[in-house]
């Protein structure tokens, strides 16, 4: 038994050395063309690619602000014949950084979009934000910031134990805790987790609401995908961390039937799903 510890210690260093990046977030929509129209016209996203898989009865569309080789994207899934989903109480929002929130909101209103919070400074701060709802009910926070290489800047998920979640994303996925904000007056704490600074990349915003330990997941939000240079080694790390902190492997490391892209997938201790995707295979898929 004594031999295991140094091997594990070395293995647990791997995620920090690995070449990691948030690739895309996957969720389900009731009408693909309606959502593509809304995201391109209201949010200024580009349709990057689209695929139809009739034998499995679904279609996908990938949208974002730049090529998938270097930018985060949303992967929309339309399942034939399913027009609505339950978002649940655990999913929070996506966020888009823009240099002029007021202007963006005016454009969204002009196109018939729903604004759920008018533009203005955050409570107790100066950053200008707004919230809008897409046609399926997903919330998007608009954040006013200077020019950024990655406007699609956040995925917010609610967790029941913030310290455990931070530890999980640090150890299992090699993310850094970029900042932590406690707002006792509003009874929540949040942690920004990612692979680079917030104004340069997409981050996961984990939110803990005081005394709330469980949320409903619904069936709308799917998962985030993260690139790795070694799916098998990364899978070993995840397995070790799950033994310590909780969670569940949902797919052992290996190639996907049909496309041969190597992946592994798992749930974190709160039940949120992540898929690790082989970096080289992902680039081949894009070609």
Q: Which residues are annotated as a binding site for Zn(2+)?
A: 75, 93, 141
Q: Which two tokens stand for residue 266?
A: 């798992």
Is the CA virtual torsion 156, 160, 166, 167 positive or negative? negative
Checking 236-244 for CB contacts under 8 A at 24+ apart, the result is 236/11, 237/11, 237/12, 237/14, 237/15, 237/171, 237/172, 238/172, 238/264, 238/266, 238/276, 240/8, 240/11, 240/12, 241/12, 241/168, 241/171, 241/172, 242/172, 242/266, 244/171
Annotated binding site: 75, 93, 141
Length of the chain: 287
Q: Residue 42's closest CA among 63, 11, 14? A: 63
**Cβ partners under 8 Å of residue 54, min gap 6:** none
Question: Is 118 noted as a catalytic residue in this protein?
Answer: no
Task: Tell me which H or E stretch contains 64.
Answer: strand 58-64
Catalytic member of 141, 150, 198, 236: 141
Instruction: Give the C-alpha separation, 134 to 62, whole Å.
Output: 16
Residue appearing with tokens 């090529």: 67
Residues labelled catalytic: 141
């Amino acid at each position: 038994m004594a031999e295991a510890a140094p091997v594990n210690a070395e293995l647990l260093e791997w995620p920090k050395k690995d070449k990691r990046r948030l690739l895309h977030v996957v969720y389900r929509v009731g009408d693909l063309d309606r959502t593509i129209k809304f995201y391109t016209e209201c949010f200024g996203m580009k349709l990057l690619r689209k695929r139809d898989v009739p034998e499995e009865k679904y279609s996908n569309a990938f949208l974002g602000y730049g090529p998938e080789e270097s930018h985060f994207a949303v992967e929309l899934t339309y399942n034939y014949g399913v027009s609505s989903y339950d978002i649940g109480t655990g999913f929070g929002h996506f966020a888009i950084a823009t240099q002029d929130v007021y202007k963006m909101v005016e454009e969204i209103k002009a196109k018939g979009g729903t604004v759920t919070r008018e533009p203005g400074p955050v409570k107790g701060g100066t950053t200008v934000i707004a919230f809008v709802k897409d046609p399926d009910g997903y919330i998007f926070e608009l954040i006013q910031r200077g020019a950024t290489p990655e406007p699609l800047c956040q995925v917010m998920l609610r967790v029941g134990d913030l310290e455990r979640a931070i530890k999980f994303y640090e150890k299992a996925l090699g993310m850094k805790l970029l900042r932590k904000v406690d707002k006792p007056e509003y009874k929540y704490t949040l942690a920004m987790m990612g692979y680079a600074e917030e104004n340069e990349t997409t981050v996961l915003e984990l939110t803990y609401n005081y005394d709330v330990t469980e949320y409903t997941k619904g069936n709308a939000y799917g998962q985030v995908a993260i690139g790795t240079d070694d799916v098998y080694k990364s899978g070993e790390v995840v397995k070790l961390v799950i033994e310590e902190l909780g969670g569940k492997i949902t797919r052992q490391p290996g190639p996907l039937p049909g496309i041969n892209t190597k992946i592994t997938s798992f749930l974190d201790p709160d039940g949120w799903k992540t898929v690790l995707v082989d970096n080289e295979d992902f680039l081949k898929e894009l070609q």
